Chain A
Amino acid sequence: MCPAIILLSALLLQSPDEADFLLTNIADARIRTSDNSSAQLSSWYSRKPIIMTLVYSRCPGVCNPYLLQIRDHVLLQAAPVERFQMLVLSFDTEDSPAQLRKLAGFNDSSPPPPNWTFGVLEKENSADLLSSIGFQTQPVNGTYDHNTVMVLVGQDGRIHQWIEGLPDNRQWDRLFRELTNDFVPVYSTLNRNVWTSCFQYDPASGYWKVNWGLLMILAPSALTVCIIMILQAIATSGRRKRNLLILIPNNHEYIE
């Protein structure tokens, strides 16, 4: 019983995978961007791709350092601001956009770039949005336990990149390539769920590993050799019988 429970919990607690979200539609939630204005999420992504992340300002843990690191990386990369919008949302309805701005280290003397927006999810459809991007949250003593997720949403409203935790250099590189429509050579997540892939490729090391699919390329040739051998065996036995018939022409009953 006990191992079964452990196994079950391990399965239930398994963290989501990028492949579960790639090219899926994001829920079109309503966002409050100031005390008296709000808009649908689609009003952003329909104009330009968005990089979106979720935090909350009262977070005693990861939100502040996470957001600061993301800010630094986006600003340092000098990503083309006209190509995308940066959306920092709070899932805590008690938050305000101004608090989020402060959490990201911006103030009046160092304002955020023009493509940055801070907003708070309206309560009624926030759950849809959170589940559509695999954001998990649970209230604990007035605060929240949560994971950290950053998504790149295309103008079609679909998730083009899903990153849990802080992106590594490879993920940042891919994200900016996506934004600038540069060629993305490898989606590392693809092979994990496709058992028929010919090769596993680790883009970080550039190392190839042979996978099951290659066997399927070889299968037709191997199968042909087997079939020819079987036909040869059947034909040889038939030929022996015929030779026997020639040697003992009057003994047909015996042969049969």
Chain B
Amino acid sequence: MNTSYKKSTLLWLITTLIVFLVAIAFGLTMRMEQAEMVKIGPLNFYVLMTSHGLLMAGVWFVAGMAGIEYILSTYFPVPRWGGMIAYVCTITGVVILLISTFLTKFHAGWYFLYPLPFYAKVMESGPLLFLVALTILGVGWLIWSLVLIFTILRNFTVAQALAWHHISGRPGPTVAPFILISFVSLIGVTACILAAVVLLVLYYLEFLKSGSMSNDPLLMKNLTFFFGHTLVNEMLYLGLAVLYELFPRMAGKPAYKTSWYVGLSWNATLLIVLFAYFHHLYMDFAQPVAFQFVGQIMSWFAPLPAACVTIFSVLTTVYRSNMKWSLASLLYFFGVMFWAIGGVGAILDAVIANNFVLHNTQWVPAHFHTYNLLGNVFFSLAFTSWFADEIGNKKIAPGLVKLIFSLLVTGGVGFVLAFYLGGAFSVPRRVDTYNDVVNKGVSLAQMAVVFASLYLVGMVIYTFDFTKRCARQLFS
């Protein structure tokens, strides 16, 4: 393994961990405002909400991509310039994003639903800076994604990379599940970033024509969730691709093989995930009813191939294995389980009848925090832990494993539980204070603050330990 791959991956992971701590602090402050423990006011609350959401989505996307690039480089040489451009674009984009939110007080929320960006501003430059930040991030990530796709295509045809010969039983080269899942996910990532490109072009047109052109809100919402929902799903799959590669090794079992059902399930995932986002538009009366049915059916089918095959694989791997439970394997195992729990919460919300009740309640942040904070983040932290063990000077202390894991699980579970209970009590989401009708929201927010603090402490210890063990490698 070329040390430059290790260094670039290390740089991504350290950056990711630092930005994650900052984003947790933003989220914690928001919950403290809801808990009436601090007073920051609605404007700052929405500024934090915008920054928190975008940083979280972005940071765990790039962590997933860094994992893919690193493991892919163990198969084939990967051009490093793709990752380098993405890194520069990510840092630049994040800086401009934070300027747009904190200095110009842009506060349209993380998915900046049209036409909010034109209203949720204090300074005129806010929306433009925000759009520029997204453009820079999108360009960097698109280039990175295409470079990784091209690396796979230099060694396999599209049909081979999608494991069609494994599905049909025809002869062909062996395609590892990692390659298949990475390829499927990168195609999805490319599609959703291109959706963002179309979206941003329409925003720029309206912004620059200052009132003489208006967009169709239905189109803008479709594009927004094509981008946002698909990106969040694909970044989970990026983490899973790495899991398929590393988890059997951790259990001391042979590497996973791409059987026909693994191939079929991930091919199905490629298509299904592109249509599942329709469930974000249940409340949009103008969306044709057929699309709503497609959204509901695809939402039901979306978890079946990927989740069922993965859960089955992970359970059979652990069963009667000689698994030495490290922090990485613990995070992978529990990450898959929490992903499943969050997925059930998501499916419940994606049922049209339920959505009418749950749509604007805290059930929504409950489910996506479950599969992100306790699922996707755990996948990436598992890779980070494995990576630290690979390149670090020494292994993590066993006591620290127990401490970090307990803090992350206890803090994470308590934190999302407060959201689930909020959903059950119809506490609205996206508000900075609660009135008397939903005053349970205040005590639940207090509960969330306690547990989120535990999670934050766990992450601070984790980041400190990781940096202590690995940072020297950056300059070696």
Contact = CB atoms under 8 A, between A and B. Distances in A.
A241 to B, nearest CB: 11
B223 A228 contact: no
- Interface residues of A, dominant DSSP: helix
Contact of A239 (B154, B194, B216): B154
A217 B158 contact: no
A231 B149 contact: yes
B192 A220 contact: yes
Interface in A193-231: 193-194, 196-199, 201, 208, 213, 216-217, 219-221, 223-224, 227-229, 231
Contact of A231 (B150, B219, B285): B150
- A185, A220, A221 — most chain B CB neighbours (10 Å): A220
B18 to A, nearest CB: 32
B210 interface: no
Contacts of B223: 216-217, 220
A81 interface: no
B191 A224 contact: yes
B202 A196 contact: yes
Contact of B190 (A185, A191, A227): A227
Interface string B261-295: 00000000000001000000000011010000000
Contacts of A198: 216, 218-219, 222
- B149, B192, B197 — most chain A CB neighbours (10 Å): B149
A236 B153 CA distance: 8
A253 to B, nearest CB: 24
Interface in A87-120: none
Given A194-B214, A217-B223, A231 B288 contact: no
B190 A224 contact: yes
B446 to A, nearest CB: 37
A208 B150 CA distance: 41
Nearest to A183: B285
A232 interface: yes
A236 B214 contact: no
Interface residues of A, number: 29
A235 interface: yes
B195 interface: yes
A201 B198 contact: no
A191 B202 CA distance: 16
B268 to A, nearest CB: 16
Interface string B194-220: 110110001000000000001110110
Given A220-B191, A220-B226, A235-B154, A197 B216 contact: yes
Given A194-B214, A198-B218, A217-B222, A208 B288 contact: yes
A227 B189 CA distance: 13
B158 A227 contact: no
Contact of B219 (A197, A221, A223, A238): A197
B337 interface: no
A12 interface: no
A235 B214 CA distance: 41
Nearest to A221: B191
B288 A199 contact: yes
Nearest to A208: B288
A232 B285 CA distance: 41
Contacts of A236: 157
A118 B222 CA distance: 48
Contacts of A191: 216
Contacts of A223: 191, 194
B19 interface: no
A186 interface: yes
A244 B195 CA distance: 39
B376 to A, nearest CB: 23
Nearest to B142: A227
A224 B227 CA distance: 13
Contact of B218 (A213, A228, A235): A213
A105 to B, nearest CB: 40
B285 A185 contact: yes
B323 interface: no
A217 B214 contact: no
B158 to A, nearest CB: 5
Interface in B112-164: 146, 149-150, 153-154, 157-158
A76 interface: no
A234 interface: yes
A232 B158 contact: yes
Nearest to B201: A216
Interface string A172-195: 000000000000011000010110
A229 B161 CA distance: 13
B461 interface: no
B198 A220 contact: yes
Interface of B: 146, 149-150, 153-154, 157-158, 187, 190-192, 194-195, 197-198, 202, 214-216, 218-219, 222-223, 226, 274, 285-286, 288
In the complex, the 7 A-B pairs of residues with the closest C-beta atoms, listed nearest first: A220-B194, A235-B153, A213-B219, A220-B195, A197-B216, A224-B191, A196-B216
30 contacts: A185-B285, A186-B286, A193-B214, A194-B215, A196-B202, A197-B219, A198-B219, A198-B222, A199-B218, A213-B218, A216-B219, A219-B194, A220-B192, A220-B194, A220-B195, A220-B223, A220-B226, A221-B274, A223-B194, A224-B187, A228-B153, A228-B158, A228-B190, A229-B158, A231-B146, A231-B149, A231-B150, A232-B158, A235-B153, A238-B154
Interface of A: 185-186, 191, 193-194, 196-199, 201, 208, 213, 216-217, 219-221, 223-224, 227-229, 231-232, 234-236, 238-239
